[in-house]
Amino acid sequence: MLIEVFIIQCQSTGEFLTPMMNYTHNLNKAGYLFNRQAAVDTAMSELNFDFVIYSFYKREADLPASHGGGSLSAPPM
């Protein structure tokens, strides 16, 4: 099954928000959220209006065991 996930990118730096609320240029290290509103809320609190949110689909088998919440999740290793 495919699950929609969301990632947050800072517009001015091009960096992605990580699960630890740090920044990375590496898309594979970006954290992701599973709810559009949670992504908007997180982006607004961390970046004000300087953000872009992208969504895409991942296979459920490729996601962490608990993936229902609104906080940023780490990509599986």
Indicate if the pLDDT at residue 7 is higher than 80.
yes
The 10s digit of each residue's pLDDT in 9-23 is 999 999 999 989 999
Nearest residue to 29 via CA among 49, 8, 12, 46: 8
Contact 4, 55 (CB under 8 A): yes
Contact 23, 64 (CB under 8 A): no
Q: Which pLDDT value is given to residue 6?
A: 96
The pLDDT mean for the chain works out to 88
